[in-house]
Amino acid sequence: MNHLHHRILAPSVLALVASCTSNTVPSEFRAHLAALRECESMEIFAIDPHSAFDGPIEGADRLRGCRVLARAKVELGADRAALACLVAEGLSASDGTVAACFLPRHGVRVETAGKAHEIVVCYECLTLRAWAPDATECLTIPTSNHVAAALTALFERHGLEIAGSE
């Protein structure tokens, strides 16, 4: 994505952050949203969408079974707030439609007090999966793809290339 596109998206992301609210986020996701907003550290991941079903691969960098193509730390500031708001906006805008593919391209890990929340999103099937600290099962919840371009732009600002976003 070119730099002009980033400049165009930046004001819309700032407007989203200003209007961000968790009132319409499903209650079962609110602890994850709080972790996104209040985390001590945040790392984002560009994921190989076709690796989710590869199984364990020795020495491979993985996030919840998906092969990590690249990763970046997100320091304190507007991008952390924007990421939390984009995730919340996607969940709030969902009409409940999902497909069965689950080919995630975006991943997030946040830590607070040594406990990690992990989120993996597929905007093709409109599904977000989230793991709470020490959880063996994930929360699977519908999302909307209308935030995918802004989230991809945020990832690209941090040097990550999202597979299939050319």
What's residue 21's pLDDT? 56
What's residue 25's pLDDT? 85
Domain boundaries of the chain, sorted by first residue? 3-157
Place of tokens 């550290």: 41
* Contact between 16 and 87 (Cβ < 8 Å): no
3-157 homologous superfamily: Uncharacterised protein PF16224, DUF4883 (3.30.1490.410)
What's residue 163's pLDDT? 87
Residue 136 to residue 127: CA distance in whole angstroms = 18
> Within a 10 A sphere around the Cβ of 41, how many other Cβ atoms?
14
CA distances from 18 to 2, 12, 15, 56, 122 (A): 25, 10, 5, 41, 25
What's residue 56's pLDDT? 56
What's residue 17's pLDDT? 46
What's residue 9's pLDDT? 45
The answer for residues whose C-beta is within 8 angstroms of residue 15's C-beta and 6 or more apart is none
pTM of the model: 0.83
What's residue 64's pLDDT? 85
* Contact between 68 and 155 (Cβ < 8 Å): no
What region, left, alpha or beta, does residue 155 occupy, with left being phi > 0 and alpha being psi -120 to 50 degrees? Answer: alpha
What's residue 45's pLDDT? 95
- Residue by residue, pLDDT tens for the chain (166 residues) are 333 344 444 444 444 444 565 567 888 899 999 999 999 999 999 999 987 655 555 556 888 888 899 999 999 889 999 999 999 999 999 999 999 989 999 999 999 989 999 999 999 999 999 999 988 889 999 999 999 999 999 999 999 999 886 5
